[in-house]
Structure 1
């Protein structure tokens, strides 16, 4: 599959990859915090890189729509989306990432309903969230379904 001119420029300027053969399919840690990466750039990354152990997207101009690109990943263990403009709409994509062990959704628009809907992530060990309103029944539901997962709400461990 060929690269478009825009994607070729992206890989060359952001990562110094000169051609498609240079782009790895697997990365241990991809730190893109505060890099001004939007939905399109995230889709470029996930269309080429299939496995990422740790992906840090904190404080980037991403939204719910861009989260669909994450479903292209075959495996991801740690995903950091702190201060990203996502809501419960993004949860439908995030909950498909069954290999996730750590998920940071602090300072996003993900509510307690979104937390409840993440209870199907069976490998999740740590979930960090900061919902505007605390709905104990939804957080408790998550913990009942996932008693082995550490739930951090507003930077404090939540135990129900």
Structure 2
């Protein structure tokens, strides 16, 4: 299958790949810091690449839709989606499908700590980084609930 139009531009611009045959099925990782990574980037990426073990994103242009595309990947063990105002609790059902996830940083997004109690499929999670504006008196009982909900997981609050 030939690359055409926007997809061709995507692969050439981001990976210097000029043919569909040259696109790997697996990448070691994706990093985006203050970058133009957006929903379309992950749409095209996950349409061809099936496995990426690590993704680190901070201050990019992804939304819940981009997270949905990311969650299509196999073998994702580490996921950082930090400092994205358009990432909300609506992406949590997709994240919940990442049963092999060991590390999750979803700090500084529009996801409240109590929303994380809906995550029931992350049985391998060892480290969770979140943020909260709650006063200490309100946060402490919630952290106890989260710790019980994610046994064996280290939870860090920023």
Contact 1:68 1:93 in 2 (8 A): yes
Q: For 1:45 and 1:76, how far apart are their aligned partners in 2? A: 14
Q: Which residue in the other structure is 1:122 paired with?
A: 123
TM-score (norm 2): 0.88
| Structure 1 residue 132, shift from structure 2 partner | 2.8
- Residue deviations 1:94-138, cap 9 Å, x none? 111111111111111110122222343011111101023354444
| Structure 1 residue 43, shift from structure 2 partner | 1.1
Q: Which residue in the other structure is 1:88 paired with?
A: 89
Q: Which residue in the other structure is 2:133 paired with?
A: 132
Structure 2 gaps of 5+ residues are none
TM-score (norm 1): 0.87
Q: For 2:117 and 2:40, how far apart are their aligned partners in 1? A: 29
Structure 1 gaps of 5+ residues are 155-160
- Residue deviations 1:71-109, cap 9 Å, x none? 321220111111112111111111111111111111111
Q: Which residue in the other structure is 1:107 paired with?
A: 108
Q: For 1:64 and 1:17, how far apart are their aligned partners in 2? A: 27
Q: Alignment RMSD, CA only?
A: 1.7
